[in-house]
Structure 1
Amino acid sequence: MRRDELLDAAEDLLCDQGSAALTLAAVADRAGVSKGGLLYHYGSKEALIKGMVERLIEDFDALLAAQPGDTYTERYLAATLAAVRSGRLRRWAVVTGASGNLFLLAPLREAMTRWHREGLSEEPDPVASQIVRLACEGLWDVASHDPELNTEADLQALERRLKALIKPSPA
């Protein structure tokens, strides 16, 4: 069994039954492996949660790298909207909600710091870029709890308005 399949099983369990149901035995059962098979890859529940958090970061980094745009903030906005449109938010909401342990969420805090500081000083308007990045966080958070809130037309309107904020002023 591959590590991603074990992480998928853990995320599905979290979505279906909540964090109280996240036990190694339940994850192994959901994945169709022995508990020993799970322990081979993840020696503890904490290691499993850490693996889920690390995968979230890797996924968003890859999504961010794949986006077009002249500035980091343009790519960040595009990656956020791609995540919202694809439904990837469910994964973020359940995984971050699974850990009340700040130590386990430390890699996510570090990634957030990196995402929000990256290239900010090189942006044409660093304040506008910061506003757009913070708006992305708000959109991400709200959409993870209410994915039906915004229609595609709503997302397109938000995208146009946020892009207008970071468009350099004509000289």
Structure 2
Amino acid sequence: MRRDELLDAAEEILCDQGSAALTLSAVADRAGVSKGGLLYHFSSKEALIKGMVERLIEDFDQLMADQPDGTYTERYLGATLAAVRTGRLRRWAVVTSASGNLFLLAPLREAMARWHREGLEAEPDPVTSQIVRLACEGLWDLASHDPELNTESDLRTLESRLRALLAPA
């Protein structure tokens, strides 16, 4: 059993049943492994949650790296839309709801601060760039709660409008 499959199983439990249902036994059952098999990769529930947090940060950083050239905010917008289109953003709500432990959420908070501060001063219009980044946050949140809310046509329209805001005057 691979680590990612265990993390997927944990995320499915959180989406289907909520954070109260997230136990090591439930994750092992969902993944079809023994509890010992799960413990080989994650020694505790906290380690499992930490693994989910680390993976979502790595995933979004990779989406950012995969974006074509452009300003940081243009790449941020592209990465957000890529995540929404592929359904990868449910992890944000899942992991946040999974942990009331500020220590476990610290890496996510650091990543969010980095994503929202990085390159802002180099943008042609930092305030507009900040507005677009905040709009991306709203899109992430909505996609986490209702993935069917925006059609592909809706997403193209939103992307066009947000990119137009970023275009130099």
TM bin (shorter chain): over 0.9
Shift of 1:145: 1.1
Please report how far the alpha carbon of residue 137 of structure 1 lies from its aligned counterpart in structure 2 after TM superposition: 0.4
What does residue 103 of structure 1 align with?
103
Provide the secondary structure at the position in 1 that maps to 2:150: coil
How many Å separate the matches in 2 of 1:141 and 1:17?
A: 19
1:9-63 Cα shifts (integer Å, max 9, x gaps): 1111212221111111111111122212211211110010010010000001001
Could you give the per-residue CA deviations for residues 72-121 of structure 1, whole angstroms, max 9, x where no partner exists? 10000011111111111222222221112122111110000000011111
Please name the residue that 1:25 is paired with. Answer: 25
Measured in 2, the distance between the counterparts of 1:14 and 1:94 equals 6
**Equivalents in 1 of 2:148, 2:11: separation in Å?**
21
Quote the residue 2:51 is aligned against.
51
Question: Superposition pairs for residues 1-171 of structure 1, below 5 Å?
Answer: 1-169=1-169
Structure 2 CA distance for aligned equivalents of residues 68 and 167 of structure 1: 16
CA deviations on 1:101-150 (whole Å, 9 max, x unpaired) are: 12211111000000001111111111111110011001111121122222
The alignment-based identity, stated in percent, is 85
Q: 2:106 & 2:67 partners in 1: Cα distance?
A: 26
**Cα distance per residue 1:143-170 (max 9 Å; x no partner):** 211222222222111111111111112x
Q: Which runs of 5+ in 1 are unaligned?
A: none
In structure 2, what is the Cα distance between the partners aligned to 1:151 and 1:104?
34
Runs of 4+ in 1 over 3 A off after TM superposition: none
Q: CA deviation at 1:69?
A: 3.4
**How far, CA to CA, are the matches of 2:48 and 2:122 in structure 1?**
37
DSSP 3-state at the match of 2:69? coil
Q: Over the residues paired in the alignment, what is the CA RMSD in angstroms?
A: 1.2
Aligned equivalents of 1:24, 1:111: Cα separation in 2:
26
Query: What TM-score, normalized by structure 1, do the two folds share?
Result: 0.94
Aligned letter for 1:79?
Answer: A
Is the partner of 1:88 in helix, strand or coil? coil
Query: Aligned residue pairs: how many?
Result: 169
